[in-house]
Structure 1
Amino acid sequence: MLLIFMCANAISNPTYDEIEWVELIPEDDLNALLDPPDFLIDIEDGSELDSVDALSSMGTKSDNVQRFQQALTSTRIMESFDKKSVRIPGFIVPLSSDDEHRVVEFFIVPYFGACLHMPPPPPNQIIHAKFDKGVEVPQLDVAFWFEGVINVETNSNELGTSAYAISLDNIETYN
């Protein structure tokens, strides 16, 4: 009898594996992003050269630069996360809101300011979410915990592209 209760309880209260953002990115993409070209250090944030497009137009095309550029736009994912119940911290980049100004569609990103500053996170570091209940976002620098089932699914709009989506069960302020 107890076993049946535990199974029923497990179905209604799924267990979420707490994950870190780096787990969602293939190791070779991560290594490329952790080894940026030296000349990027001299580019001022927000300047004309601070963009993925500017990087593509620069004359230097060493293997390091090419691999870094590929990693910045990579939609390669970790298949092991498809249909997995996860808990992940992150920030909301609003895409649409309801009549009460609650955010109902958004990107979840690993750090504040992502998608607003260049370069944005690569698609395999952005998760698309829809949440019909809506979430109040008092400020964009407020971090949240997100719990739900992650899926491999590409979504694009003018703010960016995501390589993952999540069917959310819970959102709570990060503490």
Structure 2
Amino acid sequence: MSVIRGLSGLTARISRGFVLLMWLGLSSALSSVAVADYQSVEWPDLIPEEDLKALQNPPERITGGDEGGLADAIASKLALAMDPERELSAYEKALTSSKVKQEYNNKKIRMPGFIVPLEFNKEQRVTEFFLVPFFGACMHLPPPPPNQIVYGKMEQGVELYSLMDAFWIEGTMSTKAVKNETATAAYSMTVDKVEPYYND
């Protein structure tokens, strides 16, 4: 399955009420590739088992209704803001989880994703960015859980012509969190190489 088809399927899930699970399905659209000393990682691999199980088993109101999805996610966050003392369900906790898998700390990782630019150099190359599992995350759509966002920093920068382009990212991962006004990333990466997902 191509990334484009995978992305189309993921976007369709938003309207059907699956926005809160969409990033978990991306791995089925991506091939598992081992390159040199880099360990190939897919997005669900970054989620601790407890959180992953919670996300794969959302409340019935998320999957059973005609609206569901985005509307329910927003409603849930509004309810929490109004009643911060309310006890969160395992699913709600997983939606904002910053829990990481320490096994990826200081590991050379290769993974796919979409770039959300944060900083540019004088040549307008992106030097700092969030790597996210689906197009629109942190921009047109609410951000995924922090453990589904990777903060990337690349000294020489990368040319970004379209936010819709998918990339392979290689670098050294850490479990250091980075937070800004856009989102919180539970993982960070010193990026060695960025290449298009498609090499035409």
- Aligned position for 1:93: 116
CA drift at 1:116: 2.1
- Aligned position for 1:36: 58
- Aligned position for 2:91: 68
- Aligned position for 1:169: 192
Structure 1: segments with no counterpart, 5+ residues: 1-12
SS of equivalent residue, structure 1 residue 28: helix
Instruction: State the TM-score, normalized to the length of structure 1.
Output: 0.80
Q: Is the 8 A contact 1:43 1:50 kept in 2?
A: no
CA drift at 1:118: 4.3
Opposite residue 124 of structure 2, the aligned amino acid is: H
Do the aligned partners of residues 109 and 51 (structure 1) sit closer, same or farther apart at CA in structure 2, a change above 3 Å counting?
A: farther
- Aligned position for 1:115: 138
- Aligned position for 1:83: 106
- Aligned position for 1:20: 42
Q: Is the 8 A contact 1:24 1:77 kept in 2?
A: yes
What aligned pairs does 1:106-145 form with structure 2 within 5 A after superposition? Answer: 106-145=129-168
Instruction: State the TM-score, normalized to the length of structure 2.
Output: 0.71
Q: Is the 8 A contact 1:56 1:69 kept in 2?
A: no
SS of equivalent residue, structure 2 residue 114: strand
Opposite residue 61 of structure 2, the aligned amino acid is: F
Task: Give the distance between the partners of 1:51 and 1:162, measured in 2 at CA.
Answer: 23
Q: Over the residues paired in the alignment, what is the CA RMSD in angstroms?
A: 2.7
- Aligned position for 1:8: none
Task: Give the distance between the partners of 1:44 and 1:128, measured in 2 at CA.
Answer: 26
Task: Give the distance between the partners of 1:100 and 1:76, measured in 2 at CA.
Answer: 36
What percentage of aligned pairs have identical amino acids? 42
Q: Is the 8 A contact 1:51 1:119 kept in 2?
A: no
- Aligned position for 2:14: none
Q: Which structure shows the higher strand fraction?
A: 1
- Aligned position for 2:78: 54
Task: Give the distance between the partners of 2:154 and 2:139, measured in 1 at CA.
Answer: 22
Do the aligned partners of residues 137 and 51 (structure 1) sit closer, same or farther apart at CA in structure 2, a change above 3 Å counting?
A: farther
| CA deviation map 1:29-48 (0-9, x unaligned) | 01111222233352474x69
Task: Give the distance between the partners of 1:125 and 1:30, measured in 2 at CA.
Answer: 11
CA drift at 1:164: 0.6
Higher relative contact order (Cα pairs below 8 Å, separated by 6+ residues): 1
Do the aligned partners of residues 44 and 97 (structure 1) sit closer, same or farther apart at CA in structure 2, a change above 3 Å counting?
A: same
Do the aligned partners of residues 118 and 56 (structure 1) sit closer, same or farther apart at CA in structure 2, a change above 3 Å counting?
A: farther
Structure 2: segments with no counterpart, 5+ residues: 1-34
CA drift at 1:82: 0.6
